[in-house]
């Protein structure tokens, strides 16, 4: 079983996106490094495989937004732990 969608499924899902979603998706891809994109894509594909969720561009955008919030939370905890050690 393939984790990711086929090229035809991907193209179809892009065609069904609203202009707003497509522009947000395009902006997301152009602001992300290739390495970070691949890392997020792999995490998202794994999540889809584990949960049975459908791999779509809009859901990928939502996943990336969620993951960035998680990473920011971990970073803030690390900073707080360092600051607590300096007291």
Of 79, 63, 61, the residue nearest 25 (C-alpha): 61
**Tokens in use for 52?**
């049975």
Q: How confident is the model at residue 86 (pLDDT cuts 50, 70, 90)?
A: low
What are the boundaries of each domain within the chain? 7-85
CB 25 within 8 A of CB 56: no
pTM above 0.75, yes or no: no
pLDDT (tens digit per residue) in 2-51? 445 566 777 677 777 788 877 877 777 777 778 888 899 899 999 999 99
pLDDT (tens digit per residue) in 54-65? 888 888 989 999
């Amino acid at each position: 079983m393939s984790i990711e969608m086929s090229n035809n499924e991907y193209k179809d899902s892009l065609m069904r996106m609203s202009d707003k979603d497509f522009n947000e998706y395009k902006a997301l891809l152009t602001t992300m490094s290739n390495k970070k994109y691949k890392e997020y894509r792999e995490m998202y594909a794994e999540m889809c495989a584990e949960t049975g969720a459908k791999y779509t561009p809009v859901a990928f955008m939502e996943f990336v937004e969620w993951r960035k919030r998680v990473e920011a939370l971990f970073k803030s905890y690390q900073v707080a732990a360092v600051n607590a050690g300096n007291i």
